[in-house]
Structure 1
């Protein structure tokens, strides 16, 4: 794996559900206005959305997180 692809796709499909769960927990408990900015959380979700092989249910969960960030 080269450095560029690792930066572009930091998540693997096998690890993505765990990452989504983490994002859902953090954003529901602390909200997008926590220690980190909305820009930070949006970036994390967008990175996850760029994962090759994303399942429709994963895409839906991530889109819901983007909506939550936008409303915060």
Structure 2
């Protein structure tokens, strides 16, 4: 993962839906089962949540992913 400076966002609003779809696929399979994966995927989802211009539906999907990770 890139070492980003303060205020830098990894995801653009144009590509966020495809990133969310990727998270949903991985986390529905095996992605949230190990401790490493939980930490890694939580970080990625939190990073996506910081994307400027996030739509309410995108926020809801990302929050559900965080809930899934927490319950794994």
Question: Same fold judged by TM-score > 0.5?
Answer: yes
The structure 1 segments of at least 4 consecutive aligned residues displaced by more than 6 Å after TM superposition are none
* Unaligned segments of structure 1, at least 5 residues: none
TM-score (norm 1): 0.85
* Unaligned segments of structure 2, at least 5 residues: none
Q: Aligned Cα RMSD in Å? A: 1.9
Query: Does the 8 Å contact 2:31/2:41 carry over to 1?
Result: no
SS at match of 2:15: helix
Q: What count of residue pairs does the alignment treat as equivalent?
A: 69
TM-score (norm 2): 0.85
Task: Indicate the structure with greater helix content.
Answer: 1
